[in-house]
């Protein structure tokens, strides 16, 4: 993604999200965001898109072998979880006391 400006996403590391499309689709099970990969518009979500990774023995991992790890998915495939409404929700940005904060559209609650 070669653009002049860094894209601004509504999802941040540590947020609770639900997967809305794909093999791990579950609209009622919130999961935690582990990492945001801004350059590729992807997000790493806990317990989603598990792949097997074959590793060679190294100094840190003397055995090597086959590991199960999470792979990133497109950020468009996840939606923020609103705990108060108990469903996925969209986000709007508003100013509260001079600070720009994220607010859920379903319940109107400020996201910390």
Burial of 103 (0-12, 13-18, 19+ CB in 10 A): middle
CA 52/CA 70 separation, integer angstroms: 9
CA 80/CA 13 separation, integer angstroms: 11
pLDDT recorded at residue 2: 65
CA 28/CA 19 separation, integer angstroms: 9
pLDDT band at 112 (very low <50, low <70, confident <90, very high): confident
Residues in CB range of 112: below 8 A, 6 or more apart = none
pLDDT in tens, 16-75: 999 999 999 999 999 999 999 999 999 999 999 999 999 999 999 899 999 999 999 999
Structural contact between residues 76 and 67, judged by C-beta atoms closer than 8 angstroms: no
Residue 17 CB: number of other CB atoms within 10 A?
A: 21
**Domain 16-82 part of CATH 2.30.30.30:** yes
Domain ranges of the chain: 16-82
- Name the one residue in this structure whose structure tokens are 């860094």: 6
DSSP state, residue 38: G
pTM, full prediction: 0.84
């Amino acid at each position: 993604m070669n653009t002049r400006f860094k894209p601004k996403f509504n999802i941040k590391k540590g947020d609770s999200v639900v997967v809305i499309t794909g093999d791990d689709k579950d609209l009622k099970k919130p999961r935690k965001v582990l990492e945001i990969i801004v350059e590729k518009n992807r997000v790493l979500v806990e317990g989603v898109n598990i792949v097997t990774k074959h590793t060679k023995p190294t100094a840190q991992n003397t055995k090597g072998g086959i590991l199960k790890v999470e792979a990133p998915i497109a950020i468009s495939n996840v939606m923020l979880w609103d705990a108060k409404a108990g469903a996925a929700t969209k986000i709007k940005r508003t100013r509260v006391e001079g600070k720009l904060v994220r607010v859920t559209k379903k319940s109107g609650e400020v996201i910390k």
